[in-house]
Amino acid sequence: MRFAGIYRKYLSPWVVVAIGGSVFVLTFLYLGQKDITNPYFIFHNPAYPIVSHAHGWLYVVQALVLVFLSITVLELFSLYIGTARRLFTDKKEQEFNRDTLNRMMDYLTKECSTADARKLMALTKSKSEKRLFVNQLRISAVLTKGKVHDDCITLFHEMNFDDVVKKNLRSLYVRNKMFALRVAGDFQLSEFNPSIAKYIYSKNDIVRSEAIQAYVKVNADSDLSFLADYTRSLSILDFNVIVNAAKHYRNIHFESLFSSPNAIVRAIGIRLVAIQNKTEFKPLLLPMIEDKT
How confident is the model at residue 183, as a pLDDT? Answer: 92
Between CA 111 and CA 126 the distance in angstroms is 28
How confident is the model at residue 177, as a pLDDT? Answer: 92
**pTM for the predicted model, two decimal places:** 0.63
How confident is the model at residue 172, as a pLDDT? Answer: 87
Q: Up-side HSE of residue 159: CA atoms within 13 Å toward CB?
A: 26
State which residues of the chain have pLDDT below 50.
Answer: 1-4, 6-8, 10
For the chain, the helix, strand and coil percentages under 3-state DSSP, each to the nearest 5: 70, 0, 25
CA distances from 92 to 21, 87, 130, 164 (A): 40, 9, 14, 21
Beta bridge partners of 37: 42
